Amino acid sequence: MNGQPELYKILEKLNISFEYYEHPAVPTIEEAKKYWKDLKATHCKNIFFRNHKGNKHYLVILEHTQALDIHDLEKRLKQGKLTFASPKRMLKYLGLTPGSVSPFGLINDPENHIHVFLDENLKKSKTISFHPNINTASLVISYDDFEKYLKWVGNDFENVKLYD
């Protein structure tokens, strides 16, 4: 299976079942949609940000069809000015490269530096889909198991209203 082997070991340890789907590399959501059409899951945007000082990092997760206004996001999250984190920061904190950003990358953040913001609408999803830390596959897991994973990995996370 494509993806980070440690991730599969963790999912097994947590007794989290998943459906595995392999596809060509998909650097954008528009391209990924071609391969998601038969997957019964909520597909997500996973956006990695940093604060103005560069000393705090955030992973924002929302349904893939939702537009994200950064200025509105700054007001909702109350974290000050946000900018996209560089590929260098992405690699340092998530162990991932652009196009592969996923909450599964939190396994590469042993100090739990990254704060996760989940759009509250995702809680309505029965299943949810993410890359297994590489953009040539997708995993579908239940939303309940996703929350179990987040609690296990230990990063702070909160559900927020990201759009109206």
- Kindly report, residue by residue over 40-84, the tens digit of the pLDDT: 899 999 999 999 999 999 999 999 888 888 888 888 888 889 999
pLDDT in tens, 84-139: 999 999 999 999 999 899 999 999 999 999 999 999 999 999 999 999 999 899 99
How high is the pLDDT of residue 113?
96
Per DSSP, the residues of the chain read --S-HHHHHHHHHTT---EEEE-S---SHHHHHHHHTT--SEEEEEEEEEETTSS-EEEEEEETT----HHHHHHHHT--SEEEPPHHHHHHHHS--TT---GGGGGG-TT--EEEEEEGGGGG-SEEEE-SSSTTEEEEEEHHHHHHHHHHH---EEEE----
Domain spans of the chain, in order of start: 5-160
How high is the pLDDT of residue 65?
86
Domain spanning 5-160, CATH class: alpha beta
The reported pTM is 0.92
